[in-house]
Chain A
């Protein structure tokens, strides 16, 4: 290709660094972007954890004065917002980035620069939403931002404006990432990998990405409306102007409930990989687990008003959402039963990753069962907005999502880094988190049924809540100690550096077929896929008949595979825009197409960030940000994926 009709003046050379900070700022490598997501999200995890511990200190005794109500309101607002948007979602994104290309036998995601853009917008959005801590205006209207308490009349100051603008930026990042992974999974599977040969984690990523792409725009609309209500005097949710606060609740939860599945489905995907590997058995009932995930994601759109059973929607609406909510328990149950059946008659290795996954099943089950209890609106009339709800969703999001994510960290760490995490410290990490978590959150069921509302910064001595709260606070610190042990483990393991081979766990999926850590191009040869758990069955061909039955497994060219046998492999879009391809000669493999690095994602993201700051300060800043934004946009458009003159890889 020699077409160079359009060029854009370059202010600086294209990044080529392989080491140091510039190699990260210009990177478009899915693995490096995954690492960036992981590190950033973990830092926010520590901050949100500290916020939680400050709240637990405040609540550990009645009429405590450790923090005042304003600080407390900021703490619970930012704890929830951070954990949802800056911890669990981006930690999941770290796994998506790292694993999806590896699991489907690809060399990168479909849109590598878009992938980098997602991360940089996420980073800037996360800084903006937390900037209120520095300026003294931290958001204080709850992660759910109920109108009109989040409106300018009742909540003057910049806090909730930071919140709305930050969420809008994060939404852009999530939508871009979601689209990226949908396209990647649908289009870039290795030859022969039909949809029903996808690893379950990849399936759950696909489903999650679809949910993200559909749900985040709803939040974006809500955020923009709230923002214009606050800044420009619109009346979407402002009852003083005839706006409807209930509309906010509908919009928020129409986003908010799919969001719950955005938070839990990736963890379900993780345990669906860990349990089979350490049980040395295939996932039991693969199609049922996959379809249960699809059904959960679909039905997740029809249950939002169970967050609003006390809003007064009337018996007809409450009945309808009761039925849909209880129904969604069925596919959830299917998953749990299949995970248990996966362990059944297995050869179970109880290492840290497996213990986290088993704990996931145990704890998520509790969260599911308490969920049924407030799926009944009249029972929920007592539970709504009490600590019973707090206990419930922490069993889902900590006992579920977070334990699942920790399982994934221990499971894939050797693949990410090439060395193992220390197993003794791992067990201690697991035990402290598991025990601390239960001591913290099990008693909160009790204190909730005892009538303690959520989001109160203190309570009177004569309510009988003190002992339970003290117990929960102690549990919180034990959980925090577990996280501390994890961080120690990272350091100790790095020093010990016990080197891991490509396939340390006798794994089942394609990521274990390449080296640990994988080379920049992931696979020397793009794998040819014949089976579900293809890597496993190629290692143990004698077990193929056990899984597929005799004579039924011979479907080497399955329907739905992306690449037909007669397609010229050269034209296969291994990475996007391979038109400017170059040879990775030094690796001795032909036709390895990797996109070149680019600064434009971060420039574009900075431009968007300046817009956000402009909304918070002065419209002049928006004007000032426009050139940066446009520069990023045009530079990106005019920049070829690969420079013809670049000869390194």
Chain B
């Protein structure tokens, strides 16, 4: 009989090579346990949930390693021991099988798998059926996935923030896991495994951070073009620091000094950024308002995903206390923030900010050809300076209103700096209604309100009366102060 292969296969070296290769996966898995310091390593855990998960993995791993060595050893042994030594066509005994062996290698793996299944099932029920009662006071958090950032709400404390989750060390955190748009996955490898954020299917998970520190999280379910850049941080704090942070989230920043870059940045932010980014959710009632506004922004985007001028965006309250920007992408500082505002896509390709925000468009609503915002470098710098200054202030009462700096305020100027991002003085709609002829319409809009009263209410409490066909998007603008609002009302009534 014709034979093809004779001794092409150099056995001794191949034997060692094969053995080494077969052992490589084991070696590599073992090595993985040697890099527990990597930021998202599932070893070197900092919370009991992740620790238990790692221990279950190690338990199964070592059982698998034994099976692996036995099976691969048998394969290699058989291939070498029973290889054809010469060109002999010797016929081995033509056995059909062995029923006892078959029963053995059916039952033994079954028993091993039962051994694996028992601790597994115990852990499933331990981790997935609610927070155990004896772990102390539970902190409730809602984690909400957006394309492509994370929103965190503390309903018991009426605090809302984004991309940086603050939790107290040692306390159980109960999460409501929610998605606004597509499927995301909430994952902090060092503290707990992941749970998917699925629209219309709210999920539950809980975790405890057992070490103070900053930990990495990342979206783990493919969610579109910027999936790779959808990251976040978990900041585990002592109970005191956490309470201080909560208090700070209810404390408005001090008002910028008049004439400072911060003051200029505040004006620019209000006029250009505040449609999508709320940055003042510190006062009572602002939590509920922000939830409604965020929903309205999203409704606005989903109703016109190509040309919408609004889109869901992170809440920037006390943004100066953040450590990262762009959903955990860069360390936050003046340079990185200027770079972000100038060209967000250079840091996070696919971000909706550059596609939808009005500052990246011409007055006609077209995207600017250079992709950069229609602001000067100094204006961008002022916005960055202002945002970095947003930290809990001295807490001395109502300091948001500008101090009256002169007797006469130019309403047209107030409009230009604050309102033109969303409102035109003609008939056309930018984000909000065009305001030509608003003085005439205002008088008849709401029964019992004069034109002046209606316009003033629409500035101070925009949600009180929404023009049909528009979403409740506009933030309250009462921080302008009485003088400017009066001037603005006067100016608006002149628009024909």
Question: Would A146 and B8 count as touching, CB distance under 8 A?
Answer: no
Distance A240 CA – B116 CA, assembled complex (angstroms): 41
Q: Using A153-B302, A312-B196, A378-B52 as known contacts, say yes or no to A350 and B9 having CB atoms under 8 A apart.
A: yes
Minimal beta-carbon separation of B489 from chain A (angstroms): 38
Question: Would B198 and A334 count as touching, CB distance under 8 A?
Answer: no
Q: Is B334 an interface residue (CB 8 A)?
A: no
Q: Using A148-B182, A310-B194, A547-B96 as known contacts, say yes or no to A457 and B64 having CB atoms under 8 A apart.
A: no
| CB under 8 Å from chain B, chain A span 225-244 | 239-240, 242, 244
Tell me which residues across on chain A come within 8 A of B88, comparing CB atoms. 347
Question: Would A347 and B92 count as touching, CB distance under 8 A?
Answer: yes
Q: Is A642 an interface residue (CB 8 A)?
A: no
Q: Is A330 an interface residue (CB 8 A)?
A: yes
Q: Is B338 an interface residue (CB 8 A)?
A: no
| CB under 8 Å from chain B, chain A span 345-380 | 345-352, 355, 358, 361-362, 365-366, 369-370, 372-373, 375-380
Tell me which residues across on chain B come within 8 A of A318, comparing CB atoms. 124, 128
Tell me which residues across on chain A come within 8 A of B82, comparing CB atoms. 279, 343-348
Question: Would B193 and A334 count as touching, CB distance under 8 A?
Answer: no
Question: Would B198 and A358 count as touching, CB distance under 8 A?
Answer: no
Q: Using A311-B196, A315-B129, A319-B124 as known contacts, say yes or no to A149 and B182 having CB atoms under 8 A apart.
A: yes
B97 partner, pick from A284, A319, A345, A434, beta carbons under 8 A = A284
Who on chain B is nearest to A421 by CB? B4
Q: Is A285 an interface residue (CB 8 A)?
A: yes
Question: Would B39 and A463 count as touching, CB distance under 8 A?
Answer: yes
Distance A375 CA – B22 CA, assembled complex (angstroms): 23
Who on chain B is nearest to A385 by CB? B220
* Stretch in contact with the other chain, from B53-61, B132-140, B272-280: B53-61
Who on chain B is nearest to A460 by CB? B329
Q: Is B464 an interface residue (CB 8 A)?
A: no
Who on chain A is nearest to B37 by CB? A464
Q: Is B321 an interface residue (CB 8 A)?
A: no
Question: Would A149 and B78 count as touching, CB distance under 8 A?
Answer: no
Minimal beta-carbon separation of B118 from chain A (angstroms): 11
Question: Would B4 and A381 count as touching, CB distance under 8 A?
Answer: no
Q: Is B155 an interface residue (CB 8 A)?
A: no
Who on chain B is nearest to A248 by CB? B183
Q: Is A384 an interface residue (CB 8 A)?
A: yes
Q: Is A35 an interface residue (CB 8 A)?
A: no
Distance A340 CA – B101 CA, assembled complex (angstroms): 12
Tell me which residues across on chain A come within 8 A of B71, comparing CB atoms. 336, 340, 365
A372 partner, pick from B60, B79, B96, B195, beta carbons under 8 A = B60
B56 partner, pick from A336, A341, A378, A464, beta carbons under 8 A = A378
Distance A443 CA – B35 CA, assembled complex (angstroms): 13
Q: Using A69-B350, A373-B60 as known contacts, say yes or no to A344 and B89 having CB atoms under 8 A apart.
A: no
Question: Would A344 and B64 count as touching, CB distance under 8 A?
Answer: no
Minimal beta-carbon separation of B93 from chain A (angstroms): 6
Question: Would B8 and A358 count as touching, CB distance under 8 A?
Answer: no
Question: Would B35 and A453 count as touching, CB distance under 8 A?
Answer: no
Tell me which residues across on chain B come within 8 A of A154, comparing CB atoms. 147, 181-182, 224, 305
Q: Is B482 an interface residue (CB 8 A)?
A: no
Q: Is B403 an interface residue (CB 8 A)?
A: no
Q: Is B144 an interface residue (CB 8 A)?
A: no
Question: Would A450 and B182 count as touching, CB distance under 8 A?
Answer: no
* Stretch in contact with the other chain, from B105-113, B286-294, B371-379: B105-113
Question: Would A362 and B75 count as touching, CB distance under 8 A?
Answer: yes
Distance A330 CA – B111 CA, assembled complex (angstroms): 10
- Bitwise, A305-323 to B at CB < 8 A (1) or not (0) is 0000011101100110011
Q: Using A358-B75, A378-B52, A547-B95 as known contacts, say yes or no to A312 and B124 having CB atoms under 8 A apart.
A: no
| CB under 8 Å from chain B, chain A span 255-287 | 279-282, 284-287
Distance A346 CA – B92 CA, assembled complex (angstroms): 6
A148 partner, pick from B83, B92, B181, beta carbons under 8 A = B181
Question: Would A245 and B198 count as touching, CB distance under 8 A?
Answer: yes
Tell me which residues across on chain A come within 8 A of B78, comparing CB atoms. 340, 343-344, 346, 348
Tell me which residues across on chain A come within 8 A of B189, comparing CB atoms. 382, 451
Q: Is A446 an interface residue (CB 8 A)?
A: yes
Q: Is B406 an interface residue (CB 8 A)?
A: no
Q: Is B267 an interface residue (CB 8 A)?
A: no
With most chain B CB atoms within 10 A of its CB, the pick from A70, A142, A375, A446 is A446
Tell me which residues across on chain B come within 8 A of A153, comparing CB atoms. 302, 305
Question: Would B75 and A340 count as touching, CB distance under 8 A?
Answer: yes
Inter-chain CB contacts under 8 Å: number: 347
Who on chain B is nearest to A548 by CB? B96
Question: Would A378 and B305 count as touching, CB distance under 8 A?
Answer: no
Tell me which residues across on chain B come within 8 A of A285, comparing CB atoms. 96-98, 101-102
Tell me which residues across on chain A come within 8 A of B306, comparing CB atoms. 156
Tell me which residues across on chain A come within 8 A of B83, comparing CB atoms. 348-350
Tell me which residues across on chain B come within 8 A of A378, comparing CB atoms. 52-53, 56, 120, 123-124, 127-128, 193
Q: Is A82 an interface residue (CB 8 A)?
A: no
With most chain B CB atoms within 10 A of its CB, the pick from A381, A434, A457, A546 is A381
Who on chain B is nearest to A77 by CB? B222
Tell me which residues across on chain A come within 8 A of B32, comparing CB atoms. 445-446, 449-450
Q: Is B341 an interface residue (CB 8 A)?
A: no
Question: Would B109 and A333 count as touching, CB distance under 8 A?
Answer: yes
Minimal beta-carbon separation of A398 from chain B (angstroms): 14
Q: Is A338 an interface residue (CB 8 A)?
A: yes
Minimal beta-carbon separation of B146 from chain A (angstroms): 12
Q: Is B24 an interface residue (CB 8 A)?
A: yes
Tell me which residues across on chain A come within 8 A of B56, comparing CB atoms. 376, 378-379
| CB under 8 Å from chain A, chain B span 180-222 | 181-183, 185, 187, 189, 192-196, 198-201, 203-204, 216, 218-222
With most chain A CB atoms within 10 A of its CB, the pick from B41, B57, B101, B204 is B57
Tell me which residues across on chain A come within 8 A of B40, comparing CB atoms. 450-452, 463
Q: Using A245-B200, A340-B75 as known contacts, say yes or no to A458 and B228 having CB atoms under 8 A apart.
A: yes
Minimal beta-carbon separation of B403 from chain A (angstroms): 44
Tell me which residues across on chain B come within 8 A of A591, comparing CB atoms. none
With most chain A CB atoms within 10 A of its CB, the pick from B37, B79, B203 is B79
Tell me which residues across on chain B come within 8 A of A346, comparing CB atoms. 78, 82, 92
B41 partner, pick from A147, A361, A449, A548, beta carbons under 8 A = A449
Tell me which residues across on chain B come within 8 A of A341, comparing CB atoms. 97-98, 101
Distance A235 CA – B301 CA, assembled complex (angstroms): 19
Who on chain B is nearest to A246 by CB? B201
Q: Using A382-B50, A449-B32 as known contacts, say yes or no to A347 and B91 having CB atoms under 8 A apart.
A: yes
Tell me which residues across on chain A come within 8 A of B181, comparing CB atoms. 148, 154
Minimal beta-carbon separation of B15 from chain A (angstroms): 11
Question: Would A381 and B117 count as touching, CB distance under 8 A?
Answer: no
Q: Is B74 an interface residue (CB 8 A)?
A: yes
With most chain A CB atoms within 10 A of its CB, the pick from B22, B78, B189, B302 is B78
Q: Using A149-B224, A349-B84, A424-B8 as known contacts, say yes or no to A451 and B39 having CB atoms under 8 A apart.
A: yes
Question: Would B128 and A347 count as touching, CB distance under 8 A?
Answer: no
Tell me which residues across on chain B come within 8 A of A39, comparing CB atoms. none
Who on chain B is nearest to A358 by CB? B79
For this complex, 21 residue pairs linking A to B, each with C-beta atoms less than 8 Å apart, are: A142-B222, A154-B182, A240-B302, A245-B199, A245-B200, A282-B95, A311-B196, A312-B201, A326-B113, A326-B116, A329-B113, A351-B8, A370-B64, A376-B116, A380-B193, A385-B194, A445-B32, A449-B29, A449-B42, A464-B39, A547-B96
Known interface pairs A329-B109, A346-B82, A365-B68; 13 further A-B residue pairs with C-beta atoms within 8 A, sorted by A's residue number = A73-B225, A149-B183, A285-B102, A315-B129, A333-B109, A344-B78, A348-B83, A350-B84, A449-B29, A450-B38, A451-B41, A464-B37, A503-B1
A residues in contact (CB < 8 Å) with B: 68-70, 73, 142, 146-149, 153-156, 239-240, 242, 244-246, 279-282, 284-288, 310-312, 314-315, 318-319, 322-323, 326-327, 329-330, 333-334, 336-338, 340-341, 343-352, 355, 358, 361-362, 365-366, 369-370, 372-373, 375-386, 420, 423-424, 427, 434-435, 438, 442-443, 445-446, 449-460, 462-465, 500-501, 503-504, 506, 540, 543, 546-549
* For the complex of A and B, 6 pairs with smallest distance between CB atoms: A381-B193, A451-B40, A351-B5, A456-B228, A312-B203, A285-B97
